[in-house]
Amino acid sequence: LKLTKRSAILINTARGPVINENDLIEALEMGKIAGAGLDVFWDETKIPKRLIKLSNVVLTPHIASATIEVRLAMAEMVVDSVRAVLNGRMPETVVNMKK
């Protein structure tokens, strides 16, 4: 954040811990960066009030993937996974697979 231009707008739709929220809040409050758009947070159950109150921040509730294209792709992945299991194959996207 120290190296960014004052006109910079930080966007984070990846993972909350990618950014140190306290450093970001300080940079925003002091005008070191112009603004931020955040869809993810360090702890989504405890978004800092200082961050919420800032007028140069847009906060969304972890919905960056909520587009028609992404939701259709997700539905196709589910169908492909169910078909794989029904045909005795391992789905491509397995969570918590027991070895």
The domain segmentation of the chain, as residue ranges, is: 9-59, 65-90
92 belongs to the catalytic site:
no
Model pLDDT for residues 46-61, shown as the tens digit of each residue: 999 999 999 999 999 9
Give the active site residue among 6, 62, 71, 89. 62
Q: How far is residue 91's CA from residue 52's CA, in Å, rounded to a whole number? A: 40
Quick one: which of 61, 27, 46, 45 has its CA closest to 19?
27
- The kind and range of the H/E element at 69 are helix 68-86
Bridge partners (DSSP) listed for residue 12: 38
Within 13 A of 6's CA, how many CA atoms are on the CB side? 4
Residue 15: active-site member: yes
The whole-number average pLDDT for the span 29-40 is 97
Q: Which of the pair, 11 or 44, is modelled with greater confidence?
A: 11
Confidence of residue 1 (pLDDT cuts 50, 70, 90): confident
Annotation says 29 is catalytic: no
DSSP 61: -
Instruction: Read off the pTM.
Output: 0.70
